[in-house]
Amino acid sequence: MTDAYRKHRREYPFMSAQTALRWAKTEDASEGWEASRRDNEWTREVEGFTITLRTDEESIFPLPNRHGDTDYGRYVDETRYEDYDWRGNFPRPSENAPLGLPYTSIRYDGPGWVQGERGGYFIPEGVEEQYDYFRRSGQSKSVAWDLTKEWVEAQISMLFHSPLTNATVIVTASKEGVELSSTAMGTDYSGDEEGRSYVFQMVKEYEMIDEVIDEAREVIQKLVAS
């Protein structure tokens, strides 16, 4: 728990000690699950049933609508005309980043499933709000700007260098090797090990195990009655 507490305090310097401690005490939802021989699949025994959790997934960049908007921010087009005043290393973005942040802070590189091999520009959601948060925390304008720049670059890194994983999470209940019930939900999470742990938390939060066990018992009762 101590290591988790220190990690939260290091990653979120303005988080209160009380909040960091509460996060550190949060139960690891992956405990009790055993990795199976198949990739992206785990099992555990619950109330006499074998519960299997597996994910069908595909790593992608945030998927935009026709306006370039996503749940995490928006893509910014590159200008399509010659601009001899532009001294950047990449094509000029069609709009400036919030707060006068440099274009390099919102630049991402390929490859990507939607955008192909080329890089581009992406403005994360909540840039101004993050700046206001740092100001309310007592930071000067210049320090708040620097911290916001770091925050934006961290968002770009998370979204494009550790891509979000779009996944369908499937939970089944079996007995004596016979699958009796299943349920599924879609989700996405950061494509690293810490992000993947959200899958286990989601299964717990939405009581997916209880759901498949209840359905499995109903199936057994119908079989016994027939």
Q: Is 78 helix (H, G, I), strand (E, B) or coil?
A: strand
CA dihedral 122, 63, 160, 71 (to 10 degrees): 70
Q: Please report the pLDDT score of residue 1 as a whole number.
A: 44
Q: Show pLDDT as tens, one digit a residue, over the chain (226 residues).
A: 445 555 545 555 555 555 555 555 555 677 889 988 888 899 999 999 999 999 986 666 777 777 878 878 999 988 876 666 666 777 889 899 999 999 999 998 865 544 455 788 999 999 999 999 999 999 999 999 999 999 999 989 888 876 667 788 999 999 999 999 999 998 877 666 666 778 888 898 899 999 999 999 999 999 898 7
The C-alpha atoms of residue 76 and residue 86 are separated, in whole angstroms, by 17
CA pair distance 107, 89, nearest whole angstrom: 11
- Quick one: pLDDT at residue 64? 76
Predicted TM-score (pTM) of the model is 0.56
Q: Where are the domains of the chain?
A: 1-29, 32-60+167-225, 69-161
> What is the structure's pLDDT at 3?
57
Burial letters for 18-43: b for 16+ Cβ neighbours within 10 Å, e otherwise? Answer: eebeeebeeeebbeebeeeeeebebb
Compute the radius of gyration of the chain from its Cα atoms.
23
Task: Please give the Cα distance from 66 to 69 (Å, whole number).
Answer: 8
- Closest CA relative to residue 62, chosen from 132, 160, 174: 160
